[in-house]
Amino acid sequence: MEALALDKPYLSRSLEETERLAADFFGMINPDGLAALYGPLGGGKTAFVRGLAKAAGVDADDVTSPTFTLINEYHGGRTPIYHFDLYRLKSPAEFYGLGADDYLNREGIILIEWADKAADRIPADRYDIRFEIIDDNSRQLIFSRVNT
Ligand SMILES: Nc1ncnc2c1ncn2[C@@H]1O[C@H](COP(=O)(O)OP(=O)(O)OP(=O)(O)O)[C@@H](O)[C@H]1O
Ligand SMILES: [Mg+2]
């Protein structure tokens, strides 16, 4: 596992490379840390969550986009992982209706897809991860630390 540099673009040329970056990120985020994932449909956010979950020892088949509930929980790994997908969030206020507060206080890593849908409600102490589509098989990822 490698330490990831912050504020530096990483080019992932495959799904596997994105999962590897996620494993590296798992080595650097605290077990109660939070990361907000931004970027377009198909950007690789869910793929990244799957890679991180695998690195934590969770059964990767469990990792899918939370649809109805907007939140999936993955247990059985080294630390619980809470996977939010706010794509269908109707308003930022609805974020708390999801019971988000409760998750924020629990031990576990929180990963939030489409965090921009609840922008200023997302805790300030976090990582931001920005995904961009470069071409069919390539994605650019930039990691940054907020409020250190
Ligand atoms: N380098 C890459 N990294 C990650 N995914 C890639 C890469 N190259 C191609 N892909 C493909 O891009 C898609 C990424 O889908 P994924 O569901 O992870 O995106 P997403 O950002 O979660 O989208 P959504 O906003 O719809 O939830 C997958 O079909 C994957 O196979
Ligand atoms: Mg997704």
**pLDDT tens-digit readout, 49-80:** 999 999 999 988 888 876 667 899 999 999 99
Pocket test for ligand 1, best of 11, 13, 14, 15 (most atoms within 8 A of CB): 15
Q: Which two tokens stand for residue 64?
A: 């899918």
pLDDT at 147: 84
Model-level pTM? 0.96
Q: Which helix (H) or strand (E) holds 36?
A: strand 34-38
Burial class of 34 by CB neighbour count within 10 A (0 to 12, 13 to 18, 19+): buried
127 has pLDDT over 80: yes
pLDDT at 65: 76
Q: What is the mean pLDDT of residues 112-127?
A: 93
Contacting residues for 54 by C-beta, under 8 A, at least 6 apart: 19, 22, 23, 60
Q: Ligand 1 pocket by C-beta < 6 Å: which residues?
A: 12-15, 17-18, 39, 41-47, 65, 87, 113, 137-139
Least confident of 12-16, 47-51, 60-64, 137-141: 60-64
- CA of 49, closest atom in ligand 1: 18
pLDDT at 61: 82
CATH 1.20.200.10 is held by the domain 14-146: no
pLDDT tens string 70-117: 899 999 999 999 999 999 998 888 888 888 888 988 999 999 999 999
Q: Map out the domains of the chain as residue ranges.
A: 14-146
pLDDT tens string 25-53: 999 999 999 999 999 999 999 999 999 99
